[in-house]
Amino acid sequence: MQNLVFKISITLICSFGVTLYGQESPSFPGKKSNWNGFDKFDFEVDGKQVLVVAPKVVAKNRPWVWHGEFFGHKLAPDIALLKKGFHIAYVRVPNMLGCPKAVAHWNDFYSEMTSKYHLSKKVALVGLSRGGLYCYNWAAANPEKVACIYGDAPVCDFKSWPGGKGNGKGSKRDWDLVLKTYDFKDEAEAMAYDKNPIDNLASLAKAKVPLLHVYGDADKVVPWEENTKVIADRYKKLGGSIELIGKKDIGHHPHGLKDSTPIVEFIFKHAS
């Protein structure tokens, strides 16, 4: 009789789309498609295109990963975390480079994901390259909402990239975007800006947000000495925790790791 009850319970769980933890799977709107064997939903929030990839079985507490930029590049960690019950999310604001208006769009998306779809109140952020600006700027304004940050050759100071004011080659097009999207009146005002990720770590350290950075020590696009190293040195002085994985003689590409296990384990440990 006990076995029969158990089998009936499993059947009901599968039929009504809830997990073994009794949580209902969110029903997302928009266009549904297949993404590497998982359901992907494309819709709008606050007038911006967003996407959410849903796991087949939702993990307890509904953990999720939020990409700052370049969703779909280096898939292995996302697929591994989907298999562990995480949702994967992305907001399309590609030319805003983490400016305050981008942070405002992120605020709206976070509110939607946590209040309407009941995902975890603490999210794991993934900042790949320029995605670091989005993740760190939003995190600094919302430290209590962040489970952890994984940065992959992340931009942590727009003066380094795209500004090219240090050892990097920079990008004039993207530097012009910084001046425009941040509403700077001129380059001098941009150079005096003191709220880049490297300058704005105190709230994260106080909230004890763990960090992981993967970087190439030969990166000439986003030099690690001007970005990751500065973050690491300052975060440690503030009492924060950061793990560093350096890749010898590797430039800005390729991103990620051949074996993404350390990335997956870091996010799973802190965000599940």
Distance CA 119, CA 113 (A): 6
Distance CA 225, CA 153 (A): 11
Report the share of the chain in percent with pLDDT over 90.
Answer: 90
pTM for this one?
0.91
Distance CA 66, CA 72 (A): 12
Instruction: Please give the mean pLDDT across all residues of the chain.
Output: 92
pLDDT tier, 11 (very low <50, low <70, confident <90, very high otherwise) = very low
Q: What count of Cα atoms within 13 Å lies in the side-chain half-sphere of residue 240?
A: 26
pLDDT tier, 17 (very low <50, low <70, confident <90, very high otherwise) = very low
For the chain, give every domain's residue range.
28-271
pLDDT tens profile 147-178 = 999 999 999 999 999 999 999 999 999 999 99
pLDDT tens profile 66-91 = 999 999 999 999 999 999 999 999 99
What mean pLDDT comes out for the span 209-220?
98
Q: Which CATH class is domain 28-271?
A: alpha beta
The pLDDT score that the predictor gives to residue 25 is 61
pLDDT tens profile 85-121 = 999 999 999 999 999 999 999 999 999 999 999 999 9
Strands 64-67 and 87-91: parallel
Pair of tokens at residue 39: 């359901």
Distance CA 230, CA 158 (A): 13
Q: Which candidate, 205, 227, 82, places its Cα nearest to that of 153?
A: 227
261 pLDDT higher than 70: yes
Distance CA 161, CA 159 (A): 6
The pLDDT score that the predictor gives to residue 9 is 35
The pLDDT score that the predictor gives to residue 26 is 78
The pLDDT score that the predictor gives to residue 265 is 98
The pLDDT score that the predictor gives to residue 28 is 96
29 pLDDT higher than 80: yes
pLDDT tier, 2 (very low <50, low <70, confident <90, very high otherwise) = very low
169-195 burial by CB neighbour count: b if 16+ within 10 A, else e? ebbeebbebbbebbebeeeeebeeeee
